Amino acid sequence: MVRTLPLVVLLGCGSAARTPAPAEPTRAARSGDPEAVYGPLVVGADYASYEKLTPTPFLSQAHGSRWVDVYVNAIGAKAYLANTEIPVGTVVVKTSWVDQGGKPSTIAGPIFVMEKRAPGYLPEHGDWHYAIHWATAPAKFGGAVYWRGHSPKVTYCHEGCHDYYDRGLGGLVPSSLVPR
């Protein structure tokens, strides 16, 4: 014997269900740069499980004069610490905080991400994938920021700093040489 159950549909107070209006796209999204559309952090999102290589945050001029902590995944932590060639699959994440009177504040800055990719990804920059993720970016940036990959926005990373460091290390600088 087959039994059927009645199907009940509930409607809220006589009005049709509403879908929230989509958020206004950021300036980057309107510009047609798909690698600058804000969303959840992808590469490096699990950085809290990485090895934290800084006992306390340090002030980094190269990262907007913000206080940063450095996290590196298990694939690359030993190479990073030994200043040897960085293996493919290494992910380096730097969290940051705004400076407040010479010490870190509680105001989060951007999260900076580097991932060493296979040869051919971006050979002119050591095959590094760069990303900057900032949920609370100032209005002058056009809203929340997630610049990554081949977006022209991440040229700041390699043109400003990483192309000038030891290419054998993939553009990384030993912590002892980081501007503090």
Predicted confidence at residue 116, as pLDDT, reads 93
pLDDT for the residue 164: 53
The pTM of the full predicted model, rounded to 2 decimals, is 0.73
The pLDDT of residue 24: 46
Q: Does an H or E element contain 148, and which?
A: strand 145-148
Per-residue pLDDT of the chain (180 residues; tens, 9 = 90+): 444 444 333 333 333 333 333 344 445 445 678 878 888 888 999 999 999 988 889 888 878 888 999 999 999 999 888 878 889 999 999 999 999 999 999 999 999 999 999 999 888 878 888 898 989 888 888 889 887 877 667 676 766 565 555 544 444 555 444 444
Among 133, 155, 153, 131, smallest CA distance to 144 is for 133
Neighbours of 166 (CB within 10 A): 13
Q: CA 136, 102, 83: angle at the middle one, nearest 5?
A: 80
pLDDT of amino acid 33 = 80
Give the other-Cβ count within 10 Å of 46's Cβ. 12
Sign for the CA dihedral angle at 57, 46, 40, 147 comes to positive
pLDDT of residue 159: 66
